[in-house]
Chains A and B, each alone.
Chain A
Amino acid sequence: MSALKIRLTAVIMDVLDVLTNSPSDDPAWGLRLCEVTGYGTSTIYPALDRLMKAGWITDRWEDPRPADRPPRRFYEMTSTGREQYAAGLRARRERRAAWLHPAPHTGGGA
């Protein structure tokens, strides 16, 4: 069985940025992710599902459960997610740098 590969699309990166910058005492949940990123529900929830499947993020329910409204499902990044995201961003930056500023040719010549 293969580990689910996450491509760093604009949506995925925006979601991960919000999750990375969310304080632990006020974690991100579906509605907030939609509001902050500006994407609709049909984009955010599949992205969250994909990240969960890949093990990049984890979820937990609001505790204690509020009596007067439905409980919220909070999302947080896992340590694996943080490492993979940082590595992905690094690789992306390097690729971009290589394309934009190719190394000068240093081959031997007369």
Chain B
Amino acid sequence: MRWWLLYLVPAVLIGHGEPGPSVAAYAVVVAVHLAVKRSIAGRPPADQPLAGFSARGLTSLAALLADRKRPALRDEWRAHLAGESGHDPITWTKVREARGFVVSAVRFRLSDAADLAWRPVDAVLGSRPLSNLLAWGPVIVMLVAIVRRDGRFGLVADIQDPIALGGFLYIVIRAGRRRRGVKPPEPKARRAKE
């Protein structure tokens, strides 16, 4: 987190663009923040009930967000907070780690959503008939549109457009397969004539 950004906004608001009040407000906010931070960090763990509550609460929230597909994470994260000794005191460092669990859980959900969104794309890329339909469909539509508008002569005059579209779609499909690591099944070998 860029804390200075948080300082800067109130400083600019207070100062209304004038440098003097802005700098003064900035200095005051920084000083207050550092004082609070130092007083919290200096306290012994027993005096930090808020930290323990925050860490446990954030870990529970993260486990809830991580979905039922990952039930092991709750225990795993509890073990993480317990530390190497197994009985580490809860400090603000642990709260920061618990905040990381929440970010992890959000990233898991985003990753799941992305996987779900890619599924139809993977299905098209992994199937030769669907890939052919994706490449040839728009080309055929364009050919028909040209013929209907300009006749067969128009087709000769504008042939570069469907070729460019087909080439572009072919490249998109090949690049998509490579990027997603999808391999369509090999075409069946034609039966040799007896």
Contact in complex: B80, A42 (CB < 8 Å): no
Interface residues as binary, B110-126 with A (CB distance below 8 Å gives 1, 0 otherwise): 01000000010010011
Inside 8 A of B76's CB, which chain A residues have their CB? 30, 72-73
Interface residues on A, range: 20 to 34
Q: In chain B, residues 75-113, which have Cβ atoms closer than 8 Å to a Cβ of chain A?
A: 75-80, 82-84, 86-87, 96-101, 103-104, 107-108, 111
- With A66-B86, A69-B82, A71-B79 in contact, is A42–B182 under 8 Å at CB? no
Interface status of B180 (Cβ within 8 A of chain A): yes
**With A and B bound together, what is the CA distance between A72 and B119 in angstroms?**
33
Count residues of B near A (Cβ-Cβ below 8 Å): 33
Residues of B within 8 A of A1 (CB): 119, 122, 126
| Closest B residue to A1 using CB positions | B122
A31 to B80, CA, bound (A): 5
Known pairs A31-B79, A49-B70, A71-B75 / 6 extra A-B pairs, C-beta < 8 Å: A1-B122, A31-B80, A42-B103, A45-B73, A45-B104, A46-B111
List, sorted by A's number, 26 A–B pairs whose CB atoms are closer than 8 Å. A1-B119, A1-B122, A2-B180, A30-B79, A30-B80, A31-B84, A32-B84, A34-B97, A41-B97, A41-B103, A42-B100, A43-B100, A45-B73, A45-B101, A46-B108, A49-B70, A49-B104, A49-B108, A49-B111, A61-B72, A68-B86, A69-B82, A69-B87, A71-B75, A71-B79, A73-B79
